[in-house]
Chains A and B, each alone.
Chain A
Amino acid sequence: EDQVTQSPEALRLQEGESSSLNCSYTVSGLRGLFWYRQDPGKGPEFLFTLYSAGEEKEKERLKATLTKKESFLHITAPKPEDSATYLCAVQARGSAAGNKLTFGGGTRVLVKP
């Protein structure tokens, strides 16, 4: 069974204080690892897809990296508007059409001005 564990559960940062979020996963053949951002009461908003170990993706202050067992989401010099819950999800290779995403529990990030 595919499993995703995110840590820490919550993170309080001062504006400008860089940090990293961890996503550990076990999956029967990884098709893709996804990062989403979720604001309270809203749906997940897509950020990145990573497909193979060593891959990196960047968007503004966010950078996602991938190894064979985990992914990191680095937040550089965060701003209050980066406050959200960040979700990690995996998609397994080789199963039925329309592969499901298996989500972790998320990391709630609060950036104080």
Chain B
Amino acid sequence: EPEVTQTPSHQVTQMGQEVILRCVPISNHLYFYWYRQILGQKVEFLVSFYNNEISEKSEIFDDQFSVERPDGSNFTLKIRSTKLEDSAMYFCASSGSLSFAFFGQGTRLTVV
């Protein structure tokens, strides 16, 4: 069964450092997303990506965040200068159409 793959599963970083979270979406999907879930809170939308550009982003997705699809298979989320409040589970998702999305298993980001 096709799946969305995320690496690493857990990342610990120092405050102020840059991190890159990586995702391999399902191969024939066209829409890509990043969501995050702070411990004990709701899953929150960050950004959607279609046709090699951002199609929608939330207020959370400020200038510290960027996304890229560097090589046609990977989809990355970069946080330039991490803050303590960026600690969360980050989920990548992809969909083949404007319907349900498949989610990856997540990257747990811990900022210390």
Chain A positions within 8 Å of B, measured between CB atoms, are: 31-32, 34, 36, 41-46, 49, 87, 89, 91, 95-106
Contact = CB atoms under 8 A, between A and B. Distances in A.
A32 B45 CA distance: 16
B105 A100 contact: no
Given A31-B98, A34-B100, A49-B99, A98 B105 contact: no
A97 B51 CA distance: 9
A91 B45 CA distance: 11
A105 B98 contact: no
Contact of A100 (B33, B99, B103): B33
Contacts of A103: 42-44
Q: Which of A34, A41, A43 has the most CB atoms of chain B within a 10 A radius of its CB?
A: A43
Interface in B19-52: 31-33, 35, 41-45, 48-51
30 contacts: A36-B103, A41-B89, A41-B106, A43-B91, A43-B106, A44-B91, A46-B103, A49-B99, A49-B100, A91-B98, A96-B48, A96-B55, A96-B56, A97-B31, A97-B50, A97-B51, A97-B56, A97-B98, A98-B31, A98-B49, A98-B50, A98-B55, A99-B56, A99-B98, A100-B33, A101-B35, A103-B42, A103-B44, A104-B42, A105-B42
